[in-house]
Structure 1
């Protein structure tokens, strides 16, 4: 990824966050993108960039309460809606156009299996306080209700609610041929 690619991605993230550079979610995503980009820089030039990344990561974690390490995989137009208590495991995959709200945890179930992290497909909406643990796949367009604890796969377009989460199938609106504003 070139510096131009980094700038384009950060600009797209800025638009996804309502063109407000002061939002903690945007700042965290920008720090994440910078952390991913700096890994493509050769040594010894990477070292000062790593110091800057670690500072930005810790700022986002300690001040905003959003922990998003560069080892996670984050798609385009992902929105972190509110700050506070968001923890994303480093092996988590977050698809395009997902929305994550405050106090969410995307993590592992066991310290014996540290690579077993959640996979969120495109357009997943994660409610406030939701917990998604283990190697589970959340299908495209699914919604996770507030305070739900998800331990099993959620099919595309379904709604997961409760503790532990139960799956409710729902009809998705027909959006064929409809272009959404950017």
Structure 2
């Protein structure tokens, strides 16, 4: 899929409104990833300068920090702007919804590369924090202002500080990983 096809898909997911800060941030992220595919550094340099400008604008004006090193799935929606910080080594699956004030970050200073992994269709409420090397399963929902410190099973809904499950689905994260790896 080309850069423009992916950005068009993101535009549709953001309600076909190119003025939304969430869409602009995702488009800047996609551009940042694309520019890294240009191999001679000398040819990449002007695109890197442009990306740096776009990244800082999204961070400083919209309050959404989304570095190009994040593995971002398709049709990810940033519902509202303001105070969204995504760790550079986070992984976000397809069709996730992330609202204002969300933090995906590391938990321990001695493990700076530990970052959350979100499955597909994860819905994160306003002000929530997902901290550390946490796996959030497909279709999970994280309530507003929840602090997630442990894995969340697929389809579960978690709320509170620290987050506890209030709705459990039958399968769990370990079963999902076994199915993906083929180690039944």
Same fold by TM-score, threshold 0.5 exceeded? yes
Quick one: which of 89, 92, 95 aligns to 2:93? Answer: 95
User: Following the alignment from structure 1 to structure 2, what is the Cα–Cα distance between the partners of residues 60 and 112?
Assistant: 29
User: Following the alignment from structure 1 to structure 2, what is the Cα–Cα distance between the partners of residues 170 and 14?
Assistant: 33
Match of 2:167 in 1: 169
Find out whether 1:27 has 2:24 as its counterpart.
yes
Q: What secondary structure sits across from 1:153 in the alignment?
A: coil
Match of 2:5 in 1: 8
Match of 1:175 in 2: none
Q: CA RMSD in A?
A: 1.2
Match of 1:18 in 2: 15
Match of 2:109 in 1: 111
Match of 2:46 in 1: 48
Give me the TM-score of the superposition, normalised by structure 1: 0.90
Alignment of 1:77-96 (within 5 A): 77-96=75-94
| Contiguous gaps of at least 5 residues in structure 2 | 171-184
Deviation at 1:167, TM superposition (A): 1.3
| Contiguous gaps of at least 5 residues in structure 1 | 173-182
Deviation at 1:14, TM superposition (A): 0.3
Find out whether 1:121 has 2:107 as its counterpart.
no
User: Following the alignment from structure 2 to structure 1, what is the Cα–Cα distance between the partners of residues 31 and 108?
Assistant: 29
Q: How many residues align?
A: 169
Q: What secondary structure sits across from 1:77 in the alignment?
A: coil
The structure in which a higher percent of residues are helix is: 2
